[in-house]
Structures are given as C-alpha cells and as structure tokens.
Amino acid sequence: MEMLDVYAELLAAGNDPSERFSGVHAHFLACGPCAQDLEGLLSALTGPDPSQPDPP
C-alpha cells in the first residue's frame, strides 16, 4: 500500500489521518495484513508499546 508510510507518520506525530484518508482507514479496518504492517511501522517509528510485555 502506497500510503502506509504517510499514514503511519501522521499517526506517530499525534495526528488523526482517518478523516483525510478515509479510504485508507477503511482498508486498514478490513485488511488484517495491512493493519499488522501499520502496527509494525508505528512500533518502528515510536518504539515498543509499553503495555506489551517484552518478548522472551
């Protein structure tokens, strides 16, 4: 998906891109693999989620 990096960077900066990119937002809700890619990219941009335990 071409917009993945743009969407992730906006989220990481504290913005809500769902209104501006409503079609992309809908796609992430419907497509598990793309949603996982978004989570991974966000983690890379912002660091690990402190609510998740460290992997063994």
The pLDDT tens digits along the chain (56 residues) read 689 999 999 999 999 999 999 999 999 999 999 999 999 999 999 986 656 555 44
pLDDT confidence of residue 50 = 59
27-49-45-36 Cα dihedral, nearest 10 degrees: -30
Tokens of 20: 């501006």
Cα 38–Cα 41–Cα 42 angle in degrees, nearest 5: 85
* pTM score of the predicted model: 0.77
The CA distance from 34 to 14, in Å, is 20
pLDDT confidence of residue 55 = 47
